[in-house]
Amino acid sequence: MLKILEPGILTTVQDLGRNGYYHLGIPPSGAADQYSFQLGNLLLGNPIDYAGLEITLLGPKIEFMKRTVFNLTGAPVEAFLNNQPLSMWENIEARRGDVLSFKFAKKGVRTYLCISGGIQVPKVMDSRSTFTTCELGGHRGRKLIAGDLLEIGEPLPGVLKQVGRRVNKEFIPEFKKKIDVRVVLGMISYSLSDEGVRSFLNGEWKVAVESSRLAYRLKGPSLHYENVETPFGAGSGFSNVVDTAYPLGGIMITNSEELIVLLNDATTGGGFMTIGAVISSDLDVIAQSRPDTMVRFMAVTVQQAVQERINKKEKLLKFAEMLK
């Protein structure tokens, strides 16, 4: 059992998400930085989809109600067990009564607490992930508050022998203030003029403070559009279309100097122009970018996007093999 003494800014239960319900208007939710989250589970010997906590910027204060092993991955943060500093990306033993606390994250946005045996909240639609917008899954469908009690699984056999084991430096992601993000253009990108496409790809886009697990808002250069009439039923705005499905990672244009990248908790459809999507392998990078991070978009083919997904899976498999 975990007892939440202080909740932090936004702490939720997440796993790898609920897939297969997007056509019903239910987004996957799940860990926004899936790579860091999976590394944490692998380091413990957990299945990669065991639930943990996603901690945003300022973490909670948590009391361990039984002996277990945990680790912290994702955004770099100063963490303490009984006021003694901890290392990230390393398995740590916690005993009954120990208290875990945090300072504000130094870089990135989301830190992950993975625990041997996982967090055992009930599954909703095949997932323990929290979708706060609809109060679905997780712990009562919401962010954690002081006084919450979370069931955790029994520590897996032999995990105490893994205390002190660390993630090798080559597998730890970087958290930069300037990032390159790969995109596949398509859908309604034909509405952009050639000059608009060049501005989108050559310009720098700044992450806005309004960004969240639903979507990231970015502001940048002015985009130019083809002078075409909007379709019947779409309204008069240049960025309006008749309602369409939005893909995860979809890049929506809401006005000539702003775009939105849809993340794990995003709406699944609407009436804004969607010019393409961030490749799945780079959604982790977007999700860890803080306000004022500068983003450059790079166009890739579908084949290149698929290869990058394969590369990331192979990297995780390589790490798992090294642990054996």
Residue 208 inside a domain? The answer is yes
> Is the same domain home to 226 and 141?
no
Angle at the Cα of 253 (from 249 to 255), degrees rounded to 5? 150
Residue with tokens 């979507």: 215
Could you tell me the pLDDT band of residue 223, with boundaries at 50, 70 and 90? confident
Q: What is the pLDDT of residues 87-140, one digit of tens each?
A: 999 999 999 999 999 999 989 999 999 999 999 999 999 999 999 999 999 999
- What is the reported pLDDT for 224? 73
> Is the same domain home to 148 and 203?
no
- What is the reported pLDDT for 227? 63
Instruction: Kindly report the pTM of this predicted structure.
Output: 0.93
164 close to 71: Cβ distance less than 8 angstroms: no
Q: Give CA–CA dist 69/154, Å, rounded.
A: 10
Average pLDDT over residues 262-287: 91
Asked which of 154, 171, 188 is the last residue of a domain, the reply is 171
The answer on pLDDT for 11 being more than 80 is yes
> Is the same domain home to 190 and 208?
yes
**CA distances, 2 to each of 97, 146, 147 (Å):** 10, 11, 10
Q: What is the pLDDT of residues 182-209, one digit of tens each?
A: 999 987 666 777 888 888 899 999 999 9
Residue 320 inside a domain? The answer is no
Out of 165-174, 190-199, 248-257, 307-316, least confident range? 190-199
> Is the same domain home to 187 and 106?
no
Strands (E), the chain: 2-6, 10-14, 52-56, 61-64, 68-74, 79-81, 84-85, 92-94, 99-102, 110-115, 149-150, 178-185, 205-207, 215-219, 240-245, 250-255, 258-262, 269-278, 294-299
Structural domain for 290, as ranges: 178-313
> Is the same domain home to 20 and 87?
yes
> Is the same domain home to 114 and 190?
no
Asked which of 146, 171, 196 is the last residue of a domain, the reply is 171
- What is the reported pLDDT for 193? 73
Residue 258 inside a domain? The answer is yes
> Is the same domain home to 58 and 185?
no
Residue 321 inside a domain? The answer is no
- What is the reported pLDDT for 241? 65
Tally of CB atoms within 10 A around 30: 25
Number of structural domains the chain divides into:
2
> Is the same domain home to 25 and 160?
yes
213 close to 264: Cβ distance less than 8 angstroms: yes
Could you tell me the pLDDT band of residue 285, with boundaries at 50, 70 and 90? very high
3-state class of 250 per DSSP?
strand
Could you tell me the pLDDT band of residue 235, with boundaries at 50, 70 and 90? low
Expressed in angstroms, the distance from the first to the final Cα of the chain is 29
Residue 324 inside a domain? The answer is no
280-287 helix and 302-323 helix, angle to the nearest 10 degrees: 70
Residue 149 inside a domain? The answer is yes
> Is the same domain home to 273 and 204?
yes
Q: Give CA–CA dist 204/269, Å, rounded.
A: 27
Tally of CB atoms within 10 A around 165: 16
> Is the same domain home to 17 and 69?
yes
> Is the same domain home to 155 and 238?
no
CATH number for the domain harbouring residue 302: 2.40.100.10
> Is the same domain home to 17 and 157?
yes
- What is the reported pLDDT for 169? 94
Residue 191 inside a domain? The answer is yes
Q: What is the pLDDT of residues 17-70, one digit of tens each?
A: 999 999 899 999 999 999 999 999 999 999 999 999 999 999 999 999 999 999
- What is the reported pLDDT for 189? 65
Residue with tokens 């908790």: 265
